[in-house]
């Protein structure tokens, strides 16, 4: 099922009285303006709301996915989303905790805007009475002179209040300090909310709770400039139960762009979720119902070794982001690597992505299996390699190896690749040097 078709199958859980009750149950609200007013607002007539995404990279990541899914849940409840990709705020970037951001060129930021708009468009519906709309804050920021900006917007901000924002305080206490450009970011974001309120009647902004200072800069500005109360919701920053930062894999962000994080690696990331975290992840990142999630929670308690909840999570989120075809390919690759499917049936790109996630080596076709076990770290020495083969515990492309001096000549898969396995679960990838055109 293509990603665009996934929208037609998504539903909010009707067992909740309001969408606000559901997002609370799913753990999507860490901080907000008045909760009672928000519940009433979201249970009433359709309202316009927005979330902003700054193009500081070529792709969105898992933290952004939290916001996209919250936007989609509100849209399913009948409300109207505005997805803002910040062509102007992306030129500055919100303050990092410890140091100034490296500024990208205007051309790079414009390119990133296009990438992010295309990604955002996959998660919201642009049809119907509450169709989503893409907006770019460069459209109203670029024509504004510095004098107009200071007179019309800057006059509403108090420096003392701005200095108390967490992001600003952290930077003031760091060795790097903070530039006027990043200090002014909260003014720019507040102006975005004011512009969207005036142009579209937007009354709600969502974002990560680490952005709370920037979120309320908009609510405060609208109250001062227009005399109107509007709302903000800050979602929790998700961490693993062991305290590590969620959304990182071997120190790298898990991206939504398949060129940066392959569907296979994306699927494996979710499949490796800890038992203690998996139910929370199902609540936040899937549209599974409360009944189904509670059922999976029971399975985690009674039969954790089956990892049913992790498989459901990996299937749901990977198909949501990459579509069912890519997800099926990732599942097939995962099974085939461990001898439960046919390696020769895998498409080369999926196979390569899978092997890149394993210990791997690039070699020549005349290299022996005995040497490959050492080169990939599956054995500590050639003598250990020979014993492993003699004991029947070594497999090349899921075929048991009977001779330690067997080479890769005539024993590779498509694209000059091979899968080396010792025992049931210890795998390595082999890439044979070849004059053929590389897969990538």
Name all domains of the chain by residue range, CATH numbers in brackets. Answer: 3-237 (3.40.50.620), 238-337 (1.10.240.10), 344-440 (3.10.290.10)
Give the pLDDT confidence of 289-340 residue by residue, as tens digits: 999 999 999 999 999 999 999 999 999 999 999 999 999 999 999 999 988 8
Q: What is the mean pLDDT of residues 419-430?
A: 94
Confidence of residue 58 (pLDDT cuts 50, 70, 90): very high
Query: Is 60 exceeded by the pLDDT of residue 78?
Result: yes
Neighbours of 421 (CB within 10 A): 23
What are the tens digits of pLDDT across the range 192-240? 999 999 999 999 999 999 899 999 999 999 999 999 999 999 999 988 8
Across 427-435, average pLDDT: 86
Tell me: pLDDT of 8 over 90.
no
Kindly state the tokens that stand for 118: 């295309």
The whole-number pLDDT of residue 47 equals 98
pLDDT at residue number 2:
47
Mean pLDDT score of the chain, rounded to an integer?
92
The residue with greater pLDDT, 152 or 170, is 152
pLDDT at 366 over 90: yes
Task: Identify the pLDDT of residue 440.
Answer: 42
Closest CA to 212 of 150, 155, 169: 169
Which band of pLDDT confidence, cut at 50, 70 and 90, is reported for residue 176? confident
- What is the share, in percent, of the chain residues with pLDDT greater than 90? 81
Q: Which residue has the higher pLDDT, 173 or 37?
A: 37
Mean of the pLDDT values across residues 415-420? 94
Q: What is the mean pLDDT of residues 60-79?
A: 97
* pLDDT of 364 strictly over 90: yes
* Paired strand residues for 202: 48
pLDDT at 436 over 60: no
Q: Tell whether pTM > 0.95.
A: no
């Amino acid at each position: 099922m293509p990603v665009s078709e996934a929208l037609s199958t998504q539903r909010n859980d009707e067992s909740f009285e309001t969408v606000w009750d559901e997002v609370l149950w799913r753990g999507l609200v860490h901080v907000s303006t008045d909760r009672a007013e928000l519940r009433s607002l979201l249970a009433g007539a359709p309202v316009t709301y927005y979330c902003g995404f700054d193009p500081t990279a070529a792709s969105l990541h898992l933290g952004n996915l939290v916001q996209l899914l919250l936007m989609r849940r509100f849209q399913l409840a009948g409300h109207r989303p505005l997805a803002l990709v910040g062509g102007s705020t992306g030129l500055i970037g919100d303050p990092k905790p410890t140091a100034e951001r490296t500024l990208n060129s205007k051309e790079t930021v414009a390119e990133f805007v296009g990438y992010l708009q295309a990604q955002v468009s996959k998660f919201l519906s642009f049809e119907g009475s509450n169709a989503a709309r893409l907006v770019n804050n460069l459209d109203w920021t670029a024509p504004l002179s510095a004098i107009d900006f200071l007179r019309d917007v800057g006059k509403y901000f108090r420096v003392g209040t701005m200095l108390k924002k967490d992001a600003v305080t952290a930077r003031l206490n760091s060795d790097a300090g903070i530039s006027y450009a990043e200090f002014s970011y909260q003014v720019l974001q507040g102006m975005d909310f004011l512009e969207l309120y005036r142009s579209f009647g937007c009354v709600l902004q969502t974002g990560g709770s680490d952005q709370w200072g920037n979120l309320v800069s908009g609510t405060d500005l609208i109250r001062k400039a227009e005399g109107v109360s509007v709302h903000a919701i800050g979602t929790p920053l998700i961490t693993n139960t062991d305290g590590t930062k969620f959304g990182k894999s071997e120190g790298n962000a898990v991206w939504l762009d398949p060129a940066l994080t392959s569907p296979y690696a994306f699927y494996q990331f979710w499949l490796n979720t800890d038992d203690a975290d998996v139910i929370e992840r199902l609540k936040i990142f899937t549209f599974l119902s409360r009944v189904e999630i509670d059922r999976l929670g029971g399975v985690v308690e009674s039969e954790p070794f089956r990892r049913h909840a992790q498989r459901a999570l990996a299937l749901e989120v990977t198909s949501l982001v990459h579509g069912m075809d890519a997800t099926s390919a990732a599942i097939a690759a995962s099974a085939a690597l461990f001898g439960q499917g046919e390696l020769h049936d895998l498409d080369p790109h999926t196979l390569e992505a899978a092997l890149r996630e394993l210990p791997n080596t690039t070699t020549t076709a005349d290299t022996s299996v005995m040497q490959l076990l050492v080169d990939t770290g599956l054995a500590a020495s050639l003598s250990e390699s020979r014993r492993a083969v003699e004991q029947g515990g070594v497999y090349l492309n899921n075929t048991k190896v009977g001779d330690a001096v067997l080479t890769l000549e005539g024993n590779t898969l498509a694209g000059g690749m091979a899968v080396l396995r010792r025992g049931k679960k210890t795998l390595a990838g082999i890439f044979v040097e070849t004059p053929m055109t590389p897969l990538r």
